[in-house]
Amino acid sequence: MMIRVEDVSLSYDGVRDAVSALGFSVAPGSIFALVGPNGAGKTSTLRMLATLQLPSRGTIRIDGIDVARDAEGARRRVGYLPDNFALYDQMTPVDYLDFFGRCYEVDDTTRKKRIDALLDEFDLGQKRGATIRSLSRGMRQRLGVAKTLMHGPKVLLLDEPASALDPGARMKLRDALLRLKARGLAIIISSHILPDLAGLADAVGIMEGGRMIRTGALDGIAGDDARITYVIEVRANADKAARVLNEFGPRLHARRETGPGRFEVELDGGPDTVAALVEALVLRGARVAHVAPRESAIEAVYRKSAATEVA
C-alpha cells in the first residue's frame, strides 16, 4: 500500500477529536474519495497526511515512511493541494512551477522539461507567459494540481479540488486525475460534492464528526447493500409498468410515481437487478424510454451510511 493510516486521532483542544481512530489504506494507481459534510475531519486528515499537522495518536505511513519520523522523506513523495489554495498572483505559470520545482530540488534540465510537459498536459500552454492573476478559476485550479506534480510525487492529496469550478473545468480536472491514476499515483480526494467523485474513485471513506463511518472499495460497498434510486420513464402502458413494479420482488424496496409514466424506484443488487427489471417491463408491454440512476453509487453509499449514523 502506498498510504497506510492506522488508528490516527487528532485533537486541537483535548475535548473533542477533530479526527478519531481513523484507519484506511490506498494502493498505488487508485483514487480514494474522502467524503463527508463540512467539519467531518477531511481537511484535518489531509493536513496530517501532508505533514502539516502531527497526529495526536496513531501512525501514518507513506510509501513505508512514518511521517512523524521522517517528514522530509514523506514530503518528497507527496503532492498536496489545499482547499482554497493561494497562488502567487504576480507570477506567470512558468515562474510559479519553476519556483516550486526549485524548492523540491528538481534539477534544471528536468525542471524545464517538466514545466513544459505539465503546462501542455493541463492545457495551460497558451497562458505560460500570462500573469496568474489573469487566469480563470479553472486554470488556476489546474495550475495548482500541476504544481503538486512538479517533483514527481507518488501520492497526490487534493482537498476539494473541484469546488467552485464550472462543469467544463470539472471535466478537464477529472480527465487529468484519471490520467494520473493510470500512471500509478495514489490519489486521495476530499469532497462533499459527491457527483464529482462518481466514476472517479475506486474506494471511498465516509467521514462524519471526525470518524470514518464506512470505508472500502466502491464496487464492494455499492454492490453489497447500497440501494440506488433509478428514474424510469415509460412512454405507453404506464399501468402495466406500475403492476410490474408492484410485483418485482424483494430487490425493489420503494417506488414512487413522480409524474405520468415517470417512476422512481429504489433497487439493490446493482446493474443485474436493473437489467432484470427492464426486461420484465418490456416483456409486459411497457415502452421504456429512459432508465438512469438518480444518484451515483457513491451518493447512495454516502446516503445510506449517513442514515445509519443518524439512527
Partner 1 sequence: MSMRVAISAFAHRGARRGAAATFLVYSAVLTGALLLLAAWIAPEARLSDLEQLRMWGQMNPPYHPTLDPSLWTTLALGDVLALWVLALGGFVLAPAMVAAAVANERRAGTLDQLRTTPLSPLALAAGMLVGVPARLYLLLAGPLALHVLAAVAGPLPLSALVSSLAVLAAGTVASATLGLCVALAPRQESGGAFAALGVAALLGVFSLTTCGFASDRHMVAWSFLHPAGALDAVMLAPQGLWRRMIVGPWGGHFDSAGYQLALPLVPIASVVASLTFAAILLRAACRKLAAPQLPLFGKRQAVALFAFATAVVLGPLVANDHLGEFDSNGAYAFSVLLLPALVAVGLFATPTFEAWALALRSGGRTRWTSDDAPAHRAVWLMLALWAVVVFVMLGDHRMHGFGGDELIALCWATLLAVTLPVYFLFASTRYATVAARWAFGVAVAAHVIAQMVAIGIVRGNDARGFAATYVTLAGIAGVFVPAWTAWRQHALKVRTLAR
Q: Which stretch binds partner 1 (CB under 8 A): 34-42, 44-52, 133-141, 173-181?
A: 44-52
Q: How far apart are CA 46 and CA 9, in angstroms?
A: 13
Residue (88 or 136) nearer to partner 1, CB:
88
Query: x/- contact string, 111-150, with partner 1 (CB under 8 A)?
Result: ------------------------------------x---
Based on the shown chain and the rule CB under 8 A, indicate whether residue 88 belongs to the binding site for partner 1: yes
In degrees, rounded to 5, the angle at the alpha carbon of residue 59 between the alpha carbons of residues 54 and 65 is 95
Residue (160 or 268) nearer to partner 1, CB:
160
Based on the shown chain and the rule CB under 8 A, indicate whether residue 15 belongs to the binding site for partner 1: yes
| CB atoms closer than 10 angstroms to residue 233 | 18
User: Which of 24, 32, 85, 230 is the binder for partner 1 (CB under 8 A)?
Assistant: 85
Q: Which stretch binds partner 1 (CB under 8 A): 36-44, 95-103, 199-207, 272-280?
A: 95-103
Q: Is 272 exposed, middle or buried (0-12, 13-18, 19+ CB in 10 A)?
A: exposed
In degrees, rounded to 5, the angle at the alpha carbon of residue 190 between the alpha carbons of residues 86 and 19 is 100
Q: Which secondary structure element, helix H or strand E, spans residue 180, and what is its range?
A: helix 167-182
Rg of the chain on CA atoms, in Å: 23
Using CB under 8 A as the binding rule, the residues of this chain from 55 to 84 that contact partner 1 are: 72, 75-76, 78, 80, 82, 84
Residue (153 or 205) nearer to partner 1, CB:
153
Nearest one of 206, 182, 97, 107 to 142, comparing CA atoms: 97
**Residue numbers at the binding site for partner 1 (CB under 8 A):** 11-15, 50-52, 72, 75-76, 78, 80, 82, 84-88, 90-91, 95, 98-100, 102-105, 147
